[in-house]
Structures are given as structure tokens and as C-alpha cells.
Structure 1
């Protein structure tokens, strides 16, 4: 029962990846959580409070484009194994994916990608610098019991 409640809470917090546009809902006015609001084939767009991120998985490498009012970052998703998993399984409902903007300054953006796909859930926290380099800071994956 606690596992079901936990999954329901996680499901509420994470943005559901769907083909239909959804409104940008935040847990608080200063929230840095990104709701996915556009899915066009292999390109996903997430928006948050003052930022948007395009996750393009149309090729073998996942390209990221982070845009704020004053800064732009381009780079690659830092873990190609997870990128391949995302390409093959997708973020479409009932799967769930979300980005969170953790930290932003003129040289670096720190992002957290959270997912619940099939029986696997986890997150990867990484930095993306102004030169386009991405570095994994934390990675956690947990397969749910069937």
C-alpha cells in the first residue's frame, strides 16, 4: 500500500509525457520544475518558470537546448545508455519524464531529469556548461518489482 501511495505521489510530482499540450503548472510560484508541454515525434519540450528545454532524440545522440530570458545552453544528454533507453521506450503516457532546473549562472546550468518508464524509475543530475559539455553529478535507477 505504501508503494502504491509513493508511486501516486511521484506520478503527481513528475510531469506526464503526453502528445497533447498541457498547461504549465508549478508546485509554487518560484518552482523550477519543468512540465512537458509539447511532444513532436522525437523532440520533447519542457517549460518551467522562466525557462524552456528542448530534448531532441531524433538521432543517436540526444541534444539539449536550454533557453532562459538571458542565457542559452546547447549540449548533449550526458548518459548515452539512458538516452538509448528513452529513445526505445519513450516518455508517452503512461511513462513519465520531467526536467528540473536546479541551478543556473552565466557559466553552468544544473539539471535533473526524472523518469518513471515501465518498471524503471530514477533520475540523473548533470551540469551543462556554456561550452556545451555535460557532466553527470548523480545517477540513480531503480527497477520496480513486478
Structure 2
């Protein structure tokens, strides 16, 4: 057993996120582990680009209110204590709502060194449409 040192907070790269998003890496598994865990904080209106994960992703909301949306129009509102799983290959995005920050734990596994396929930014129109289609 060991205590893992806290990592510095890093601003998320603009080529993968819209708005102000901050990351803290919690775990970056070394073989045989494939687990990658991060705490991600989104300011109001901030969000990821569209993306998918080869082995899926689990998100656990710790604070605030957020949205997770998929290409087929499914939209889930995340609140503290909620957990959302996206299956392997499902294109999706997630972020804070218009008026709330959101913090979640993001859990993924590496597949041959890859944990995500990053795609285009979520348009403002797609972001606003998600707000009108929210369901629990």
C-alpha cells in the first residue's frame, strides 16, 4: 500500500474542451492495471468535445450539475452521487450546465495504450439542444 501524491491541477487542453475545464490525475495504471482515473471540474457552459472510449467510461458526479449526451440524442442530467456509464465506442460529451459548475470522477481503461478517441467540438446549438432534452 502507498499514498499517491496529489498531482497539480492542470487546465484541460483547448483542442479537446470548450470553456474552462480543470483536471487532476488520480491514477494512471501501470501494467497489468489499465485503469486511468481523474477528477474533472467544468465551469458553467464548459464541456468536452465529442469522444468515445475503446473500453467505455464511467463518470461519477461529486458536485454541481452536469450533462452527458450521446449522438442518438440521449441526454442525462448528472447530480452529486449519480454515476453514468458509456459503453465502448459510444460517442458522447459531458460538461457543466449553463448555470452550474460540475465535478466528476472519470474512470477509463487503456486499450493498447489508448483510452479515448477525440472528435470535433460540441456546437453551441448541440449544447443548447441538450438542455431542452434533459431527462433523469
Is TM (by shorter chain) over 0.5? Answer: no
TM-score (norm 1): 0.30
Q: Larger % of helix: which?
A: 1
**Higher RCO (CA < 8 A, seq sep 6+):** 2
Q: TM-score, normalised by structure 2?
A: 0.32
